[in-house]
Amino acid sequence: MNRIEQSFKELKNQERKAFIPYIMAGDGGLNNLTERLITLEKFGATLIEVGVPFSDPVADGPIIQQAGIRALQNGTTLRGIIAELAKAREVVSVPIVLMTYLNPIYSYGISKFAQDIANAGVDGCIIPDLPVEEEDLIVGELEDEGIELIRLVTLTSPIDRIKEISNRGKGFLYTVTVKGITGARKEFAQEVVEFLKKVKEVSPIPVVAGFGISSEKQINELTPHCDGVIVGSKIVDLLHKGDINGLESFMSVLKPEKNIR
């Protein structure tokens, strides 16, 4: 059982929900990555999703795209991120999941990538442009190194496909709550709640909602129907603005004293 599975097991025992913040590595300088990870863990992150900047981020909305551009302009590379995560693992105990597209992995070398992120203490990997039909390109190498491939399902995924995808993983199922790219949404349609209920019925692993979640109200609306949330654009924006007090306040929504579900 890797750190991801262990974290969700502990949450279930405590009847709590996961709060997973996303950050863009290298936004504001790669040398602040460890500090940001420490801060997010201190504020109650269940695990942390670390984005790799890429020139063609097809799943990302404007805020995360801009963060990626800033990171690339700062000279951030995948190799540099992995090296910094290895340092961070010495002081950060929560699971770390790397979010990247397939091209940087392919350019890095698939086997080398799997070995290096495992040595750096990474627990999982999200690759949004890797369909399940093509995952044999990398899943074997990741599994050999104890890295969990976090798979995604969407509002347009048929139920049979959701069953197939959810039965392949052990960590959690990334359940995309919008028909489009990342970025804050003012509200979610009722179909999102019904979708989460449907996924929960068939998934043998924890179901985590992500994309578009940016307010305490939305978190409270969605978490009764899933096992946690991923918040990206809101976290990236708060960090970019240096609003650490706002970050702590926002991340407190699922702390034990507030989490009564």
Return the active site residues: 49, 60
Strands 148-150 and 152-153: unpaired
CA distance 209 to 40: 19
Residue 167: what residue type? Answer: N
CA distance 172 to 208: 7
Closest listed residue to residue 147, CA positions, set 71, 80, 82: 82
- Whether the CA torsion 137, 104, 95, 23 is positive or negative: it is negative
Residues 256, 14 contacting (CB under 8 angstroms): yes
Closest listed residue to residue 47, CA positions, set 150, 135, 164, 201: 150
